[in-house]
Structure 1
Amino acid sequence: MSDPSLTQALRKGQRERPNETAAICGTERISRAQLADRVARLAGVLQQLGMAPGDRVGMLSLNSIRFVEYFYGCWWGGGVVNPVNIRWSPKEVAYSLDDCDTRLLIVDDTFAPMVPALRAFSKSLATVIYVGRGPVPEGLVDAEALMAGQAPVPDAGRGGADLAAVMYTGGTTGHPKGVMLSHANLYINALSNMGTVPRQSVRASLVVAPMFHVAGCGVSIINLMRLATMVIVPAFDEVAILTALQQHRANELFLVPTMIQRVVDHPRFAEFDLSSVKLVLYGAAPIDAALLARAMERLPGAGFAQAYGMTELSPTITVLVPEQHLPGPNQARWLRSAGRPVPIAEVRVVDAEGQDCPVGTVGEICTRGPMVMQGYWHKPAETAAALQDGWMHTGDAGRFDEDGFLYVVDRLKDMVVTGGENVYSAEVENAIAQLPQVAMCAVIGVPDDQWGERVHAVIVLREGASIDEATVVAHCKTLIAGYKCPRSVEFRAALPITAAGKLQKFALREPHWAGRQRRVN
Structure 2
Amino acid sequence: MYLTQGLHRMLQMNPAALATVFRGRRRSYGELAARVARLASGLQGLGMQVGDRVGMLGLNSDHFLEYMLGTWWGGGVLNPVNIRWSVPEIVYSLDDCDTRILLVDDNFLHMAEGIASMAKVRPVLIHAGDGPAPAGMLSLEQLIHDSAPIDDMARGGNDLASIMYTGGTTGRPKGVMQSHLNLWSSAVGRMAEHNITPNTSVLHVAPMFHTACMARVVTQVIVGQPHVFVPTFDALDVLRTIESEKVFDILLVPTMLQAMIAHPDFGKYDISSLKRLTYGASPIAAPVLERALELMPGIEFQQGYGMTETSPVISISGSENHSAAGIANGRVRSAGRPALCVTVRVVDEAGIEVPRGTVGELIARGPNVMLGYWNRPEETAEALRDGWMHTGDGAYMDEDGYLFIVDRLKDMIVTGGENVYSAEVESAVAGHPAVAACAVIGVPSEQWGEAVHAVVVLKPGLEVSSEEVIAHCRQRIAGYKCPKSVDFVNALPISGAGKVLKRELREPYWKDRKHGVN
TM-score (norm 1): 0.82
With 336-345 and 191-200 compared, the bigger mean Cα shift is at 191-200
List gaps (5 residues or longer) in structure 2: 414-421, 431-435, 447-489
Q: Deviations over 1:52-88 (max 9, x none)?
A: 0000000000100000000000000000000000010
Answering whether residue 291 of structure 2 is matched by residue 294 of structure 1, we say yes
Shift of 1:333: 1.5
Q: Deviations over 1:17-76 (max 9, x none)?
A: 111110101111110000000000000000000000000000000100000000000000
Q: Deviations over 1:334-360 (max 9, x none)?
A: 122111001110000111111111111
Instruction: Work out which of the residue numbers 52, 55, 58 in structure 1 matches 2:52.
Output: 55
Q: Distance in 2 between matches of 1:322 and 1:64?
A: 29
Instruction: Work out which of the residue numbers 151, 156, 160 in structure 1 matches 2:148.
Output: 151
The equivalences for 1:438-449 within 5 A come to 447=426, 449=430
Q: Residue 24 of structure 1 aligns to a residue in which SS?
A: strand
Retained in 2: the 8 A contact 1:386–1:393? yes
Q: Deviations over 1:224-246 (max 9, x none)?
A: 11111111111000111001100
| Seq. identity, % | 46
Distance verdict in 2 for CA 1:43–1:291, change over 3 Å: same
Equivalent residue for 1:424? none
Distance verdict in 2 for CA 1:135–1:215, change over 3 Å: same
Distance verdict in 2 for CA 1:108–1:135, change over 3 Å: same
Name the count of aligned residue pairs: 454
Answering whether residue 168 of structure 2 is matched by residue 171 of structure 1, we say yes
The equivalences for 1:18-417 within 5 A come to 18-201=15-198, 203-328=200-325, 331=328, 333-413=330-410
Shift of 1:331: 3.8
Distance verdict in 2 for CA 1:403–1:38, change over 3 Å: same
Q: Distance in 2 between matches of 1:87 and 1:415?
A: 26
Q: Distance in 2 between matches of 1:167 and 1:5?
A: 18
Retained in 2: the 8 A contact 1:23–1:231? yes
Distance verdict in 2 for CA 1:115–1:456, change over 3 Å: farther
Distance verdict in 2 for CA 1:459–1:57, change over 3 Å: farther
Retained in 2: the 8 A contact 1:305–1:320? yes
Retained in 2: the 8 A contact 1:21–1:29? yes
Distance verdict in 2 for CA 1:185–1:118, change over 3 Å: same
Equivalent residue for 1:468? none
Answering whether residue 517 of structure 2 is matched by residue 505 of structure 1, we say yes
Answering whether residue 443 of structure 2 is matched by residue 453 of structure 1, we say no
Q: Distance in 1 between matches of 2:121 and 2:193?
A: 41
Equivalent residue for 1:17? 14
The letter of the residue matching 1:352 is E
The letter of the residue matching 1:243 is R
Q: Distance in 2 between matches of 1:189 and 1:458?
A: 41
Q: Distance in 2 between matches of 1:160 and 1:63?
A: 27
Q: Residue 110 of structure 1 aligns to a residue in which SS?
A: helix
The letter of the residue matching 1:453 is A
Retained in 1: the 8 A contact 2:205–2:233? yes
Q: Distance in 1 between matches of 2:316 and 2:84?
A: 28
Q: Distance in 2 between matches of 1:194 and 1:482?
A: 26
Distance verdict in 2 for CA 1:389–1:142, change over 3 Å: same
Distance verdict in 2 for CA 1:483–1:50, change over 3 Å: farther
The letter of the residue matching 1:54 is G
The letter of the residue matching 2:439 is E
Distance verdict in 2 for CA 1:184–1:486, change over 3 Å: closer
Q: Residue 213 of structure 2 aligns to a residue in which SS?
A: helix
List gaps (5 residues or longer) in structure 1: 417-443, 461-472, 507-521
Shift of 1:330: 5.5
Q: Distance in 2 between matches of 1:31 and 1:18?
A: 7
The letter of the residue matching 1:161 is N
The letter of the residue matching 1:122 is A
The letter of the residue matching 2:220 is N
Equivalent residue for 1:510? none
Q: Residue 92 of structure 2 aligns to a residue in which SS?
A: helix
Q: Residue 74 of structure 1 aligns to a residue in which SS?
A: helix
Q: Distance in 2 between matches of 1:289 and 1:106?
A: 40
Equivalent residue for 1:8? 5
Q: Deviations over 1:265-294 (max 9, x none)?
A: 110111100111100001023433332232
> Over aligned residues, Cα RMSD in angstroms?
2.8
With 313-322 and 332-341 compared, the bigger mean Cα shift is at 332-341
Q: Distance in 2 between matches of 1:455 and 1:83?
A: 30
The letter of the residue matching 1:6 is L
Q: Residue 382 of structure 2 aligns to a residue in which SS?
A: helix
Distance verdict in 2 for CA 1:458–1:20, change over 3 Å: farther
Q: Distance in 2 between matches of 1:493 and 1:380?
A: 30
Retained in 1: the 8 A contact 2:58–2:64? yes
Shift of 1:149: 1.5
Q: Deviations over 1:318-343 (max 9, x none)?
A: 01001111002654511221110011
